[in-house]
Amino acid sequence: MDLLDIFDTTLRDGEQSPGFSMNKEEKLRLARQIEELGADIIEAGFPIASPGDLDATRAVAAEIKHSRVAALARARQEDVDAALRGLEPAQKPRLHVFLATSDLHLKYKLRIGRGQALEQISEMVRFGRRHCDEVEFSAEDASRTEIDYLCQTVMAAVDSGATIINLPDTVGYSTPDDYAEMFRKVRAFLGADSPVVLSAHCHDDLGLALANSLAAIDAGVRQIECTVNGIGERAGNASLEELAVALHVRNNRYPVRTRIQLEKLYPTSRLLSTITGVSVPPNKAVVGANAFAHEAGIHQDGILKNPLTYEIILPEKVGVPARRLVLGKHSGRNAFRARLGELGFETTDAELAECYRLAILRADEEKEITDRDLVTIIHQVRRSRAAVPATSGSATPVP
């Protein structure tokens, strides 16, 4: 199977989203964890942005030993100079140069023509390559760039020394078919024997970042840029944990492998939340609080008999300590019996029926039955049954 490089940009694109700013020590702490997770490339920052970001980039570059460390720069001399300073301590540096290529961005944001853009790309990539062995070029807003001109920008970057070409869906505009077709056309333009690595960087404005990333893999992309918890500008980036698990679960569909250590996904997600103070939504895939939680009685019964009935990957595989069978108004008797057993109470059928009746009544008001609630209910049932001689016998708590 082909190796798919995972380019983690949590420290750069992820940090640019409101509420996720990190200081140097926080970036270092997270960078160490992302390296342990198995990311091939860690984008440490955008050094021209501030003296602090330059300092943090240098600190990460000095600390990380196994992953490659990237620094971002616009196709401007001062940006490239700052990025190169940030990468000086790195054992495996990568300069990441970008320039917008869509007519919309060229006209209204950069206010330059296509020809000038090609000149800037060539000049800055060539300069960067003289000072860094590995240069990646990103055509910002590639998914809204006219394809013939996009191919020209790609060739300008490759001819100037770029060995990785990133074609981002910068504003989350693409659909999977569109995005894959763009990469197929660029691959055909470069030629089947080209050693250039194509990369995808997707945003989630339409909720399609993961789908577009998978479509790009189908089209021959062998680097995906993503972030922990999917953080990033606006609606965020493709989620690293979702991508890694999708490729693992559907390895019959996507013939690529990664170096990501799945069991470290959840701890990495929690570390990011701890550092930023921003929790993931409960329904977030893979790492959300409800990703391995079950309340519906039919689902709980299936999970108790065979977890694979309602879980496509076991929670322990991604580092989640255990699944949760949430007791609420949708739960079934089997889930209540199982939880009572875990709490040390073996129940008769009659006791279980009464516990279930009282629990459902309480769940209508409190939404979820806690362990404290359940213990209170079982004691209440047993006191009531002790006051009236039971015909079916009674059970006692397991020591």
Number of domains in the chain: 2
Quick one: 271 and 357 in the same domain? no
397 in a domain, yes or no? no
Adjacent-strand bridge partners of 136:
96, 164
At residue 202, the pLDDT reads: 98
336 in a domain, yes or no? yes
Quick one: 320 and 223 in the same domain? no
Amino acid at 258: T
Sign for the pseudo-dihedral over CA of 191, 193, 196, 202 = positive
Quick one: 53 and 135 in the same domain? yes
Domain C-terminal end among 276, 302, 325 = 276
Give dist(CA 335, CA 326) in Å, integer. Answer: 8
At residue 188, the pLDDT reads: 98
Which residues in the chain show pLDDT less than 70? 389-399
281 in a domain, yes or no? no
Quick one: 242 and 371 in the same domain? no
Amino acid at 224: I
At residue 397, the pLDDT reads: 45
Domain range spanning residue 106? 2-276
The CATH number assigned to the domain holding 39 equals: 3.20.20.70
284 in a domain, yes or no? no
At residue 298, the pLDDT reads: 85
133 in a domain, yes or no? yes
Quick one: 64 and 172 in the same domain? yes
Quick one: 211 and 326 in the same domain? no
357 in a domain, yes or no? yes
At residue 389, the pLDDT reads: 60
398 in a domain, yes or no? no
Residue count of the chain: 399
Quick one: 131 and 54 in the same domain? yes
